[in-house]
Chains A and B, each alone.
Chain A
Amino acid sequence: MSWIAKPRVAHPGLPRNELGLTQRDYEGRMSTLCAGCGHDSVTAALIEAFYGLNYPPHRIVKLSGIGCSGKTPTYFLNQAHGFNGVHGRMPAVATGAAGANRTLTYVGISGDGDSLSIGLGQLAHAIRRNVDLLYVIENNGVYGLTKGQFSASADVGSTAKKGAANMQPPIDPVLLGLSLGVGFVARSFSGDKEQLVPLLQAGLRHRGFALVDVISPCVTFNDHEGSTKSYRYTREHLTEVADADFVEPKREIAVSYAPGESIDVEMHDGGILRLRKLAEGFDPTDRDRAYAHISERLHRGEVLTGLLHVDKGLREMHDVAGTVDVPLVEVPHGDLCPGSAALDALQESFR
């Protein structure tokens, strides 16, 4: 069965947020992804993030493209409008929807194939337009739904389940975003909810395009020796840049471990991820230094996580375009149609 209803039962003792809603009110349908999929952890983090921010679910719009990641918006926010469009084109749909109604919160879920291959142009131009959108890439380096082909984020030398090695260099969405001038970019790991939830919340709060690359291992096609996006590889190569400054004080959910210390994070499959915070005094507002730092670490085989860059000064799409504050969908026709007298006057210039 490809569609599974999830019983809505909430224990009366469940904690409630400021809207009086429980986390159950932010959930969706039962996931149909493989057991142990990193994407389900991202879904859980999103649920927690929205719950914690006290967002009314029906004022959120969730969008996706095609692939395993594209399926996930059904698994959270049952009370939000969802849109699962065409492969790699979620940014355009999000642009249109945000264009029509600038007062809603937009979250787009994409994958590495969806974002870095078929939808690379769409991603790049949504960043340039600075659409007010939290854009999450569930990045596993593999095409899961078509059973294991390499994606554009697969590292050189990583091997597919059938043994073939990838020889093409990867596209790193974080470096790509930085070079395109993205106003918010972060990286995390699906199994690290403590880090991921505040990053998602910061991304939601950011006005403009917020890119969060989440390494989310594929348990079926890419979690084996030779893959650089397996659980084991990622756990051994993650380094964290912690930055809690951006999350506004009222909502602060700090990643509270000090520089030089390590922290054990329990993951959804029971594994323990050891993160180490490396960069004391890392300044995420300096784009050029962030770029240099991240790429230097990548060359050493280390994946920096955390809030990597933020620029709060960028103006989002509507501000650049000078759109009215009231959402366009609510502007009455009377304010849009010039009427017959104006048409008559105009036509004098057509003579």
Chain B
Amino acid sequence: MITTPQPPAPPSGARVNDVALKIGTVNGTGSASANGLLRRAIFRMGIPVSGKNLFPSNIQGLPTWYEIRANGGGHTARSRSFDLVVAMNPATYRRDIDEVRAGGWVLHDSSWPLGRDLLRDDVTFLGAPMAQMCADNFTGDRVRILMKNIIYVGVLAALLEIDRTVLRSLLEQTFAKKKALLDSNFLALRLGHDYAKEHFECPLPVHLAPMDENRESIIIDGNTAAALGCIYAGATLAAWYPITPSTSLVDAFSHFCGRYRKDPETGKNRYLIVQAEDELGAAGVVVGGGWAGVRSFTATSGPGLSLMGEFIGLAYYAEIPCVFFDVQRTGPSTGMPTRTQQGDIQSVIYASHGDTKHIALFPADPGECFHFAVDAFDLAERFQTPVFVVSDLDIGMNDWVIPRLEWDDSYRPDRGKVLDADELEEIGTFFRYLDVDGDGVPYRTLPGTHPRGAYFTRGSGHDRYGRYTEDEEGYTDVMDRLDRKIGSAAPAVPAPVLRASPDGRRASLGIVALGGVDRAILEAQEILTAGGLPVDYLRIRAFPFANSVGTFLEAHERTFVVEQNRDGQLRSILVTEVPFPGDRLESVRRFGGLPLSATDVVEQIQEKLGERTRLESSVPGTFA
């Protein structure tokens, strides 16, 4: 029985390849595969697309959402309002229906009536009796639950003109060895599609059409890309403790090791993965491995990072190369484990007690996760220090379209200053922490190399000769050198990326940010510029900061520091480390756990400009 009321007249303006879609389902019902199918099909149609999974910290039963944004112009940051919502979970009907933009559509299961109180007169309700169709066509609870997902894929294929040939070939790939399931999927797809064709006006004015933007692109999440970077960098030791949202990084590493790291003759492993008892253990294993000469890494998130603090300080002070991936989630404490944030910027850069400062790389997308992973191992060995690759849940676990990854086969790892047995034989004496070259980076030796290379590594006070000390002079000498050493990494880390105002005009306004907010800012920059507010944008990619960061700040009257945390952590670090007067840096923040959208940036900048300059803005307030 269908109780959908009469829809209002469709909006006149048709839009092609600019669709924001949200699907609300129940965790554990198999919707993830259906949503992935949709996203992949749109990708194969050659349209830039992103898929963002908003999932609960739960295995089964709680609400979960998937957001797809397809945009021919390449804007795939999160959208805050949706053209079309697929409401499959009665528990969240209210909020899901509220998120449809005026003039948009709601697709819902009309097997049961929709409560009158849920109705809005500015959106169109499209009811399809999906549960009923499943009951009529499939047997068994499991299949019926699963096929309901494929039916909505079929309905959407008709509504949005998603290529059904592509959908079918993707299903064929997935179910190549399961003929019965493939047939069920084909049937469900057809049922949904045919129902839509018969009952709805298809396609909707907002729909998709094939493009050719993805020929040189892949779709990948950041954790997979980072794991691949570890493989290519030659990392052989991973130690970890499972924690959302970093778990899939080590899982992917393990998967790739199985594929690429078997000795062809013996079948034995050219890697070791240690699932430790906790993050303290994981950090210790990584430190031990780096000390003994392998490229070792761990992946964690905020709570794990807190536990690793003591070992991080040891690695800094004893100068041990190792790599930490911090896939940030919403803190403090347990926080919201399945929501994103940039809340660890400060705790990474100054991790551990005492005076410490760390090299940190901030990838903006999975492509940079791959390349920065490789850079991190080189930097760690070159500067003999822990290096952090700081991404977030949105980058790490969501699907991003990026240019194909490229690998230069002439790459050779930078092992830094490691003395081998012959060199040790030649030199008279070896002192571990002596600044022989005057560049702040001493020489190191690996255990087992040569009796002359032996030294005692300690986290307790030591002097330049590696001797235990409690003397002010010997201690201070090493600490000052460490400060110089980390500072000297500034030209070696990934340089900031400048994107000048798109209209070519000189801008007095600047935006500074780092990490996964990039796509939202690029889009916001276009909107602001089009609205008469030219703005330059500098994306910081690493700490210590390059000189160009200070230059950029000096060159702009006002700079907005955009970040996803409450306290404006990046802004504070700019004030401290550039250093730069805080009154010329204004915070633009959204930190409630969702990926940033261009609208967030535009609205807040407009508001701040309005507050301080009473600027008449011609920029529209909301963007689809």
B275-332 CB contacts (< 8 Å) to partner A: 276-278, 280-294, 296, 310-311, 314
A73, A96, A337, A347: residue with the most chain B Cβ atoms closer than 10 Å: A96
A86 touches B294 (CB 8 A): no
B219→A86 contact, CB < 8 A:
no
Q: Which of A45-53, A122-130, A163-171, A237-245 contacts B (4 or more CB under 8 A)?
A: A122-130
Bound together, the chains give a CA A58 to CA B455 distance in angstroms of: 10
Bound CA–CA A160/B43 (angstroms):
72
Asked whether, in the complex, the Cβ of B285 is within 8 Å of the Cβ of A86, the reply is: no
Interface string of B399-443 (1 = CB under 8 A from A): 000001111110111000000000000000000000000000000
A73, A81, A104, A125: which contacts B277 (Cβ < 8 A)?
A125
**A125–B281 CB distance below 8 A:** yes
Query: A80, A329, A347: which contacts B218 (Cβ < 8 A)?
Result: A347
Is B412 a contact partner of A89 (Cβ separation < 8 A)?
A: no
Is A180 part of the binding interface, using a Cβ–Cβ cutoff of 8 Å? no
Shortest beta-carbon distance, B622 to chain A, in Å?
A: 34
Partner pick for B405 among A104, A321, A339, A347, CB 8 A cutoff: A347
Q: B260 at the A/B interface (Cβ < 8 Å)?
A: yes
Inter-chain contact B454/A80, CB cutoff 8 Å: yes
Q: Is A10 an interface residue (CB 8 A)?
A: no
Tell me the chain A residues, 313-340 only, with Cβ under 8 Å from chain B.
Answer: 318, 321-325, 328-329, 331, 333, 335-340
Cross-chain contact B291 with A73 (CB below 8 angstroms): no
How far is B260's CA from A3's CA once the two chains are assembled, in angstroms? 48
The contact of A351 among B219, B274, B460, by CB within 8 Å, is: B219
Q: How far is the CA of A231 from the CA of B274 in the complex (A)?
A: 41
Selected from A82, A94, A338, A346, the residue in CB contact (under 8 A) with B456 is: A82
Given the known inter-chain contacts A93-B288, A323-B272, A331-B270, please indicate yes or no for A99 contacting B454, CB distance below 8 A: no
Give a binary string over A171-212; 1 marks a CB under 8 Å from any B CB, 0 the rest.
000000000000000000000000000000000000000000
In the complex where A322-B268, A333-B234 touch, is A93 in contact with B287 (Cβ < 8 A)?
yes
B292 CB to nearest chain A CB (Å): 4
Give every chain B residue within 8 A of A2 (Cβ-Cβ): 468-470
Contact (Cβ within 8 A) B278 A121: yes
> Which residues of chain A are within 8 angstroms of B294 by Cβ–Cβ distance?
99-101, 328-329
B261 interface hit (Cβ, 8 Å): yes
* Contact residues of A between 69 and 98, Cβ < 8 Å to B: 73-74, 78-86, 89, 91-98
A residues in contact with B263, CB < 8 Å: 324, 335
Stretch in contact with the other chain, from B1-9, B29-37, B444-452, B504-512: B444-452
Contact of A85 among B214, B274, B314, B407 (CB under 8 A): B314
- Residues on the A chain within 8 Å of B232, using CB: 337-338, 343
Q: Does A284 contact B (CB under 8 A)?
A: no
> Considering only CB atoms, which chain B residue lies closest to A61 in the complex?
B447
* Residues A267-326 near B (CB distance < 8 A): 318, 321-325
Residue B250 at the A interface, CB < 8 A? no
Q: Is there a chain A Cβ closer than 8 Å to B485's Cβ?
A: no
Please determine whether B448 and A104 come into contact, CB atoms closer than 8 angstroms: yes
| B287 touching A336, Cβ below 8 Å | no
Taken together as a complex, chains A and B put the C-alpha atoms of A89 and B288 apart, in Å, by 11
A20 to B272, CA, bound (A): 37
Q: Which of A84, A91, A321 lies in contact with B269, CB distance below 8 A?
A: A321
Decide: A74 and B236 in contact? CB cutoff 8 A.
Answer: no
Residue of A with least CB distance to B293: A329
B284 touches A89 (CB 8 A): yes
A59 within 8 A of B: yes
Contacts of B467 in A (CB 8 A): 3
Q: Which residue of A96, A103, A340 is within 8 Å of B291 (Cβ)?
A: A96
Q: Give 8 closest A-B pairs by Cβ, nearest first.
A: A96-B288, A92-B284, A100-B292, A81-B447, A96-B289, A93-B288, A350-B218, A96-B285
Residue B533 at the chain A interface, CB threshold 8 Å: no
Contact A97–B288 (Cβ < 8 Å): yes
Q: Does B453 contact A (CB under 8 A)?
A: yes
The answer to the question of A38 belonging to the interface, with a C-beta cut-off of 8 Å to chain B, is no
**Docked CA distance A80–B448 (Å):** 8
* A346 and B449 alpha carbons, distance in the complex (Å): 38
Count of A-B contacts judged by CB separation below 8 Å: 228
Asked if B552 lies at the interface with its beta carbon under 8 angstroms from chain A, I say: no
Assess whether A84 is in contact with B458, with CB atoms less than 8 Å apart. yes
- Asked if A340 meets B285 with Cβ closer than 8 Å, knowing A61-B447, A85-B314, A323-B268, the reply is no
Given contacts A329-B236, A340-B406, list 9 more A-B pairs with CB under 8 A.
Answer: A58-B453, A81-B454, A89-B311, A91-B281, A93-B291, A100-B292, A122-B277, A124-B277, A125-B281
Complex Cα distance A86/B448, Å? 22
- Size bracket of the B interface: 35 or more
Which residue of the partner chain B has the closest CB to A2?
A: B470
A–B pairs, 18, beta carbons within 8 Å:
A56-B451, A58-B449, A81-B454, A85-B311, A91-B284, A92-B311, A93-B284, A95-B281, A96-B287, A96-B296, A98-B288, A99-B239, A323-B268, A336-B231, A336-B235, A337-B233, A338-B232, A350-B219
B237 interface residue, CB < 8 Å from A? yes
Cβ of B85 < 8 Å from any Cβ of A?
no
A14 interfacial contact with B, CB 8 Å: no
Contact B280 A89 (CB under 8 A): yes
Q: Which residue of A lies closest to B322 (CB)?
A: A96
A83:B270 contact, CB within 8 angstroms: no
CB-nearest residue of chain A to B461: A2
Contact A321 B451 (CB under 8 A): no
Segment 455-492 of B: residues with Cβ below 8 Å from A: 455-460, 467-470
Residues in chain A near residue B459, CB distance under 8 A: 84-86
- Please give, as numbers and ranges, the residues of chain A lying within 8 Å of B276 by CB-CB distance: 92, 95, 125
A97 touches B454 (CB 8 A): no
Distance to closest chain A CB from B324 (angstroms): 14
**CB of A111 closer than 8 Å to a CB of B:** no
Tell me the residues in window 192-209 of chain B with beta carbons closer than 8 Å to chain A beta carbons.
none
Instruction: Say yes or no: is B190 at the interface (Cβ < 8 Å to chain A).
Output: no
A35 within 8 A of B: no
B220 interface residue per 8 A CB criterion: yes
Q: Does A141 contact B (CB under 8 A)?
A: no
CB distance from A108 to the nearest CB of B (A): 11
Q: Which residues of B contact A59 (CB under 8 A)?
A: 448
Q: Which of A122, A324, A333 contacts B281 (CB 8 A)?
A: A122
Residues on B with C-beta less than 8 A from A89 are 280-281, 284, 310-311
